[in-house]
Amino acid sequence: MTRDLAFEGPPDHRPLRVLVLNPGSSTLKAAVVEPPGRRALATATVEWGPDASRASGRATGVADVLSAVEAAGVARGSIDAVGHRVVHGGTRFVYPTLLEDATVNDIEALAPLAPLHTRISVDTIRAARRALPGIPHVAAFDTAFHADLPPAGYRYPVPEAWYRDWGIRRFGFHGLSVAWSVTRAAELLGRPVAGLRLVVAHLGSGCSVTAVDGGRSVDTSMGMTPLEGLMMGTRAGSIDPGILLALLGDGRASPAELEDVLDHRSGLLGVSGHSADVRELLIAEGAGDSAATLALKLFVRRAAAAIAAAATCLPAIDAVVFTGGIGENAGRVRARIAASLAVLGIPSIPDGDVDEDMVLTDAAKAPAVARIKAREDIVIAEAVRSALLYARAGRRTSRAET
Least confident interval from 54-63, 215-224, 354-363: 54-63
pLDDT tens digits, 352-391:
999 999 999 998 898 999 999 999 999 999 999 999 998 8
CATH 1.20.1600.10 corresponds to the domain 2-147+377-401: no
pLDDT tens digits, 16-27:
999 999 998 778
Average pLDDT over residues 117-142: 94
Four-CA torsion 197, 198, 199, 205, nearest 10 degrees: -150
With a CB cutoff of 8 Å and minimum separation 6, the contacts of 277 are 50, 233, 268
Is the preceding peptide bond at 36 cis, omega within 30 degrees of 0? yes
Q: Counting beta carbons within 10 angstroms of the beta carbon of residue 149, is it exposed (0 to 12), middle (13 to 18) or buried (19 or more)?
A: buried
Q: Counting beta carbons within 10 angstroms of the beta carbon of residue 5, is it exposed (0 to 12), middle (13 to 18) or buried (19 or more)?
A: middle
Average pLDDT over residues 104-114: 92
pLDDT at 272: 98
pLDDT bin (cut points 50, 70, 90) of residue 402 is very low
User: For 375, phi and psi rounded to 5 degrees?
Assistant: -130, 60
Cα–Cα distance for residue pair 325/211, rounded to 1 Å: 19
pLDDT at 394 > cutoff 80: no
pLDDT tens digits, 292-324:
999 999 999 999 999 999 999 999 999 999 999
Q: Which residue has the higher pLDDT, 229 or 396?
A: 229
Question: What are the residue ranges of CATH 3.30.420.40 in the chain?
Answer: 2-147+377-401, 175-371
pLDDT at 392: 81
Give whole-number Cα distances, 118 to 53, 88, 103, 257, in Å. 10, 7, 13, 20
**Topology of the domain comprising 175-371:** Nucleotidyltransferase; domain 5 (3.30.420)
Q: Is 318 a catalytic residue?
A: no
Cα–Cα distance for residue pair 273/18, rounded to 1 Å: 41
pLDDT at 337 > cutoff 90: yes
pLDDT at 136: 97
The one catalytic residue in 51, 80, 142, 289 is: 142
> What is the pLDDT of the chain when averaged over all its residues?
92
pLDDT at 117: 85
Q: Residue 163 is which amino acid?
A: Y
pLDDT tens digits, 93-107:
999 999 999 999 999
User: For 289, phi and psi rounded to 5 degrees?
Assistant: -75, 110
